[in-house]
Structure 1
Amino acid sequence: MSTSGLSGSGKSTLAFDTLYAEGQRRYVESLSTYARQFLERLDKPDVDMIDGLSPAIAIEQKTASHNPRSTVGTVTEIYDYLRLLFARIGTPHCYKCGKPITSQTLDQIVDKVMAMTEGTRITILSPIVTGQKGTHEKLLKHLKRDGFARVRINGEILEIEDVYNLDKNKKHTIDVVVDRLIVKENIKNRLADSLELAISLSDGIANIDIPDKESILFSEKSACITCGISYPEFTPASFSFNSPQGACPKCDGLGSTNVFDPDLIIPNPELSLREGAVAPWAGRNTVLFFEFLDALTMHYGVDIYTPYKNLPDNFKNVLLYGSGDEQISFYFERNNRRFNYRKPFEGIIPRLERRYIETDSYQAREEIRYYISFRPCPECQGTKLNKESRSVKVGGLTISEITAFTVTKAYTFLTKLELSGKKKIIAKRILKELTERLGFLDNVGLSYLTLDRSAYTLSGGESQRIRLATQIGSKLTGVLYVLDEPSIGLHQRDNQRLIGTLLQMRNYGNTILVVEHDEETILSSDYVIDMGPGAGINGGQVVFSGTPKELLKDKNSLTGQYLSRRKKIEVPSRRRKVSWKKLVIKGASGNNLKNIDVEFPLGCFICITGVSGSGKSTLVLETLYRSLAQRLYHSRIPSRKHQNIAGLDQIDKVVNINQSPIGRTPRSNPGTYTGVFTFIRELFSRTVEARMRGYKPGRFSFNVKGGRCEACNINVRQEMHFYLYYAVAVTCLASSALNIEAETT
């Protein structure tokens, strides 16, 4: 069912403030008084009677989360199932050498040895020294005292009696020969005893040597025998970047750190050092400073007038990070005397870091902060996980590599994942949940999203469709779903898939009420309620209710007239001429962009189109806007990768109008947000009565004492609290719901 009509005609009031509010209120009131205190309470709508109302769920266009840790994977619970999958069937790999790490019980080791070809000769060894210098005299004496007769030193088996004078300056590898056996049926007990002894000597490791074949290492622990690195037992928390067990210790699971950004330090690489390419050095025009600069460039044989972009890379590195231990000769002249001294060059970034830590000046800190931006964590490369968790693989991929996939690619990988034996049984139900959730996201037109994309970067429409996909997965029945324009931001190519998803939810036995302007969605509805006839005080009436076919024939419905093409929006016959002034982005390659060059003519109304996920937001918001914000407002958010942007000098202001709500507090309203209320207060303060009473503009403000109503503190409503019951809100009698102090009103 769709509700259509002009913006402001009452669609949302009917759907959300009336039907959803009453449905939610009735459901909450059916719960115990104890449970109610934890749930949100909505105001009872101004309605006489509603019959046949079921429990309601609203899916609005709100950003899913402002938490930098929230991702598409965590919001949809896909990441929770991935964590479970990796904890149960993942294979750890050494983060140094890359070899797989497995742990076996003593019984498993015995079974593997007994499975060898009968008659195979084996030597059971216990590695006790691996690549260590020394004579190891005490160790050998201890082994001899314990009754061991043979050892293998550096690959050669020797009698302990014959071992003496090992070179203390060379590295040695020593294995104790625990037993020598021939594989056959009656050796199982002796084999188990020998293996147990070998494992106890070497802290969980046994080596089975087979003549003319490669030795087989067994371990009771998750550890890399080659590198000596032990691994903890992996649990789902080990793969959570919100848990100390899994989070990267460098960035605490955020995936990014604050670093001094060379692009902010050198904002214009076209300039030379002499022309002021280095922003922190701007304004330094003293003789001493240029003497220092001359000495530095002379030492490395570069020209002070060469544009920064053409300087050698090694000199750029020295300039930014310092010369290390390399001494540089600096000199200056004073009063006809020449002074020389030699010292390493500290580097711009180390100097800024030191000043930022040492200074007590707030102003100095703020100036230095201009050159700091968020960059991917150098330790985890933005994956948010520690190195142990990043080394566990399923199907040859780590959990970070899978979450970097788009929804479509992740679905393909998981459906084609080949497992066998016990792992296949364990993973069966987990994979079913994963593929279902990925399929739901694909059906609502979000196949282009990567699972590691931050939730706060999603548009309102994308966030809404994610919540819609989550609701599909819950498979509730008998529920009233209220949706706010689910098709917004979705390309027409994907519209039918979204509509199919809504029909699927309906077929579960639910009622779907959609506030919508999209033609295809309205015409696919079973029933349409058209609000109008106008907006605001001219709206609020049901102009039409019936089937879409009846809507097309209705003469009173403005929506029906446009849908039936009886009315249409004419295409302008004349267009504004394209200006020769333009912004040009070259080599934009962020996310899915393919190293493209794009021109934006200035002074025009420009429209960027394309299917969902084609790169529109990456190009405009994450590349162009962020670059302008960095240049004009010293923004610390880095732009997406690109070569350069020409024409930035023609722009002196940039405004990003996004879908974030404009009201941050209950005191905010259209008048205060737009600034109109300032003029209204000025106007009232100039009236005769206000001047007689000595009222200033502040007297007419509900944000300051003297103007606001102190009885309700401008909240319009006062709450009366009752034990174990909801607080009852009543209209403030002192201000009569006007926010302003009674005498002023």
Structure 2
Amino acid sequence: MREFITLTGARENNLKDVTLRIPKGRLTVFTGLSGSGKSSVVFDTIAVESQRQLNETYTWFVRNRLPKYERPHADAMEDLSPAIVVDQRPVGGHSRSTVGTMTDVYSVIRVLFSRCGTPSAGEATAYSFNDPSGMCPGCDGLGRTVRPDWDRILDPARSLAGGAILFPPFAVGTWQGQTYTNTPDLDVHKPVGEFTDAEREFLLRGRGTRVHVGNTGGSRAIDYEGLADRFERLYLNRDLSALSARTRETVERFLTEDTCPRCAGARLNEAALATRIRGRSIADCTRMQVTDLIAVLKELDDDPLAAPIARAAVTALERIEAIGLGYLSLDRETSTLSGGEGQRLKTVRHLGSSLTGMTYIFDEPSVGLHPRDVHRLGDLLLRLRDKGNTVLVVEHDRDVIALADHVVDMGPGAGADGGRVVFEGPPRALAASDTATGRCLRRRTALKRQVRRASGGLWVKGARRHNLREVTVRFPAGVLTAVTGVAGSGKSTLVAEFTAAHPEAVVVDQSSIGISARSTPATYLGIMDTVRRIFARATGGEPGLFSFNSAGACPACEGRGVLYTDLAFMDPVTTTCHACAGRRFRDEVLRLTVDGRSIADVLEMTAEQALGFFTDGALRRRLRALRDVGLTYLALGQPLSTLSGGERQRLKLATRLHRTGAVYVLDEPTTGLHLADVDGLLALLDRLVDGGNTVVVVEHHLDVVAHADWVIDLGPDGGRDGGRVVFEGTPRQLLAHPDSATARHLRHATGGAERR
């Protein structure tokens, strides 16, 4: 067997002819600054080529139905093995996707109840809330009822013509609103609150009459549709997640949600819920946290029919427990999982695999993990390696780096200053090297010498959502507060309660930013309208000329800069547009300049160069936000799809800065950040607080915890064993706490005590 994966002359994204030999059957960790090229090597080159070549082994019929991968830009890649990628993309899923369905454990539980439960409801599908034979008819298997909140939708003091309908898509002046302002069957000038029962019923459920509405083509008669019927047809009788984010947010403001009274949130019909195994229904089992359910299923070992099915479920559940997620329950919706929880759940299906000789690729698997739990992740990675697989990990965590057999450090900088291999070798040699990673590995975490004093307090009182135990806690105002605790201890829930109590807070969470082939830092920051106006004023052209999405777009590539050729069954091919040389604009637009620079020249500028070019105050403020988050090396027109996860997180943060007197809530802002980049983040957080803001971060990174002014530590463990405030105080006071898991690891990181 060949001993190395060999990569020669890789040029994907910012890579500069990278040549590498990666040992097979070993754990290799890729490190480097955010944007240095780690993901470009591992995901965009090795993983893509492996999956592309694997797809070539299938028939043309099958290949046409598989994802298509373009050949990465590299001279050669040799001795690849099939790759399994476990990335950070949110698990997502709609309201019917749960931990149980995602991991397939619920399917085993359904078989158990269909074979061994009494009275039986039928086959396994009869216990599925996603199947008509099993779902609750009152909520269609959702466990909750969602209905319009008419107190928010209708203002009884106003008439239909005077704006009684407050729901924006149906308001006065909209096309749909004309149905209700033009109907001859109601007095549209009479306050809605004075309608008779018959009039209100017609407004909400009326049918069968005609109403004239106007549009650009004149006036036409349409069938009248009651307000309630139309709202339900357009927004309730469909999956809200399929709507645009803006529309979904609008609709959700006018909805009220309750637990389904028929199934009490269990999602299943009466027959399925009536089935019992030793006194427990299937809903009772799925509500338990994984560790409890394991114990319950082991009680069935003495039942010859149930035992083999229960053992299969226990085996899968023990894998979930082994990766530190034993506090979850099978009925937990996947949309509520953190990025780290979702990524670890993705690995569960691979733990039971007997395949060997594979390449497992992980993108920052330590995300969302408390330092106490990183060893569990390490055990998982080593188990995969020891089964004869190659494990490649993009990672910043010190403890994960220390586990590696081999480390590849990318750099020396980020963006155009990165893309090179600056170190290859064992972790001990990396720690002695002069790279940015090596220097960071040698230093100790330092406590802040002097903490700020609070200027007031922001309270959360009696919080009992999820596993919180009547938590009342004061978040000090005007300081940097770190909310810590092991996974599942209630950190995110507590902060969600905080933002609900203080809705003015600016929240920067881990949700992904919108990405398309036409998204760029300039469009995401919202500066392109200003740039186009500057060019229009200076050249006398229309603003639309200076948009590659509008009149100025190159007709050959439609403003993309590249031509995408789909070769049916073969690999797609992307080539630079010959008409505009990849610059996206028409020739006549490129001849229009401001101070000698065309619009394409501006989009090729880095944020730092653009700061020196533009004088517009508002535009410069937004560009300075990129400087604040350490992204001045990004080109204004660089596609967002080429940015790393850490760069996207910081770009999102850049759009929410510079609000004096605000409350900022950040969910694990160190995600995707190199140890050296964390220094820049801490400097940014200090500037926010010193500017009169209150900053709350949910964080595991000990450098951030040590730098905070105040720490709120939850625990002592996860799930039902969490949900309490273990500690409140300064980081220095936390060091002396005898029981906190965070305290133990902080002592070790600062050199205050050996880890216990």
TM-score (norm 1): 0.62
Cα distance, 1:385–1:485 mapped onto 2, change above 3 Å: same
Q: Which residue of 2 aligns with 1:718?
A: 563
Provide the residue aligned with 1:157 in structure 2.
Answer: none
C-alpha separation between the residues in 1 aligned to 2:432 and 2:147?
63
Which residue is 2:131 aligned to? 243
1:261 deviation in Å? 6.7
Q: How many residues align?
A: 495
1:249-273 CA-to-partner distances (Å, cap 9, x unmatched) read 11111222114679x88xxxxxxxx
Aligned to 2:583: 738
Q: Structure 2 vs 1, CA of residues 520 and 721 (structure 1 numbering), >3 Å: closer, same or farther?
A: closer
Unaligned runs of 5+ in 2: 1-27, 160-192, 207-224, 236-249, 591-756
Tell me which of 124, 133, 143 is aligned to 1:255: 143
Q: How does 1:189-228 map to 2 (within 5 A)?
A: none
Instruction: Give the whole-Å Cα distance in 2 for the aligned partners of 1:60 and 1:353.
Output: 52
Give the match for residue 486 of structure 1.
365
* CA 521–724 in structure 1, closer or farther in 2 if over 3 Å, else same: closer
Picking from 113, 120, 130, the partner of 1:86 is 113
Residue 495 of structure 1 is matched in structure 2 by 374
Indicate the SS of the match to 1:713.
coil
Are residue 535 (structure 1) and residue 414 (structure 2) matched? yes
Distance in 1, matches of 2:251 and 2:200, equals 7
Tell me the equivalent position of 1:429. Answer: 308
2:136–2:268 contact (8 Å) kept in structure 1: yes
SS, match of residue 393 in structure 1: coil
Task: Note the 1:404-419 alignment, pairs <5 A.
Answer: 404-419=287-302
Which residue is equivalent to 2:285? 402
- Mapped to 2, the partners of 1:616 and 1:470 lie a distance apart of 27
- Mapped to 2, the partners of 1:469 and 1:387 lie a distance apart of 32
Could you report, residue by residue, the CA deviation over 1:267-295 in whole angstroms, capped at 9, with x for unpaired residues? xxxxxxxxxxx9967899xxxxxxxxxxx
Q: Does 1:372 pair with 2:399?
A: no
Tell me by how many angstroms 1:546 deviates. Answer: 0.8
Listed as ranges, the matches of 1:310-349 within 5 Å are none
Q: Which moved more, 1:474-483 or 1:569-578?
A: 569-578
SS of residue paired to 1:69: coil
- Contact 2:69–2:572, Cα closer than 8 Å, also in 1: no
* 1:475 aligned counterpart, secondary structure: coil
> Aligned pair in 2 of structure 1 residues 442, 738: CA closer, same or farther (>3 Å)?
farther
Which residue among 528, 536, 542 is the counterpart of 1:696? 542
Match of 1:624 among 467, 489, 498: 498
Match of 2:345 among 448, 466, 480: 466
CA distance in 2, matches of 1:574, 1:45: 50
Q: Aligned with 1:530: secondary structure?
A: strand
Residue 564 of structure 1 is aligned with which of 442, 452, 464? 442
- Structure 1 counterpart of 2:508, from 629, 645, 657: 657
For residue 589 of structure 1, what is the amino acid of its counterpart? R
* C-alpha spacing 1:350/1:468, structure 2 compared with 1 (3 Å): farther
Equivalent residue in structure 2 for 1:451, among 319, 323, 330: 330
Asked if the contact 1:395–1:417 (Cα under 8 Å) also holds between the matched residues in 2, the reply is: no
**Is the partner of 1:501 in helix, strand or coil?**
helix
Return the offset for 1:672. 0.6
CA distance in 2, matches of 1:610, 1:396: 35
- Secondary structure of 1:394's partner? coil
- The residue aligned with 2:67 is 40
Q: Equivalents in 1 of 2:395, 2:255: separation in Å?
A: 43
Partner SS state of residue 586, structure 1? strand
> TM-score under structure 2 normalisation?
0.61
2:319 aligns with one of 440, 453, 458: 440
Q: Is the 8 A contact 2:205 2:227 kept in 1?
A: no
Q: CA-to-partner distance for each residue in 1:643-672, whole Å, 9 max, x for gaps?
A: xx5xx5xx6x33332222212432222211
CA change 1:699–1:62 in 2 (3 A) is: same
Task: Quickly say closer, same or farther: Cα 1:460–1:368, change in 2 above 3 A.
Answer: closer
Matched residue type, 2:29: S
Query: For 1:19-50, what per-residue CA distance to the aligned partner results, in whole angstroms no more than 9, with x for missing partners?
Result: 11111111112222221111112221111122
CA distance in 2 between partners of 1:77 and 1:405 (Å):
16
Q: Summarize deviations over 1:705-733 as a string: whole Å, max 9, x none.
A: x1223333334433444454344333332
Please say if 1:29 is aligned against 2:56. yes
Q: Which amino acid aligns with 1:409?
A: D
Query: Cα offset for 1:368?
Result: 10
Identity among equivalent positions (%) equals: 39
One of 454, 476, 499 as aligned partner of 1:578? 454
Cα distance change of structure 1 residues 539 and 89 upon mapping to structure 2, 3 Å threshold = same
Deviation at 1:66, TM superposition (A): 2.8
> RMSD across aligned C-alpha pairs, in angstroms?
3.2
Distance in 2, matches of 1:552 and 1:710, equals 53
2:275 corresponds to which of 386, 392, 395: 392
The one-letter amino acid paired with 1:575 is V
Q: Secondary structure at the match of 1:624?
A: helix
Q: Kindly tell me: are residues 587 and 373 of structure 1, through their superposed partners in 2, closer, same or farther at Cα, counting changes over 3 Å?
A: same
Kindly provide the amino acid, as one letter, of the partner of residue 624 in structure 1: F
Secondary structure in structure 2 of the residue aligned to 1:252: coil
Q: 2:481 aligns with which of 589, 602, 606?
A: 606
Change (3 A) 1:728 1:443: same
Residues 167-220 of structure 1 show CA distances to partners (whole Å, capped at 9, x for unaligned) of xxxxxxxxxxxxxxxxxxxxxxxxxxxxxxxxxxxxxxxxxxxxxxxxxxxxxx
Contact 1:58 1:481 in 2 (8 A): yes
Letter in structure 2 aligned against 1:48: D
Q: 3-state DSSP class of the match of 2:367?
A: coil
Matching residue of 1:505: 384
Aligned partners of 1:403, 1:356: CA distance in 2, in Å?
39
Cα deviation, residue 603, structure 1: 3.0
